[in-house]
Amino acid sequence: MIAMEFVDTAWTTATHALHTLALVPVAEPAPKGIATENIVSFFASKVAPILLAVLGVIFIGRASRGEISKVLTSSAIAIVGLAFIAGAATLFFVGDYLINLIFE
């Protein structure tokens, strides 16, 4: 008898919940992706030249003080950093092709 009352209560509650959910409007579909074109172009056109100019001023300042070894070391580190940034940019643009190639 208790089981029958439990099933009856559960059934009416589930029916009420389904009717309530049927009245809720359907949400708009989520966007397919993030538009990062403007962000990448901003960094490429505004931020990167400023950072390179700051590095150039630092290198010229050190070279004028006679710290040539520090300038060469910093220049090598900057070149390696630029290579990593170029690799990341390449993966950013080629990544979709690589993902489709690997997972298909």
CA within 13 Å, CB half, 16: 6
Matching residue, tokens 């300038």: 71
The 10s digit of each residue's pLDDT in 8-56 is 666 676 665 655 655 656 666 666 777 677 777 787 788 888 888 888 8
Q: Which amino acid is at 69?
A: S
Matching residue, tokens 């990448």: 40
pLDDT band at residue 7 under the 50/70/90 scheme: low
> Does the predicted model carry a pTM greater than 0.85?
no
Pairwise CA distance, residues 42 & 36, whole Å: 10
Contact predicate 75/59, CB 8 Å: yes
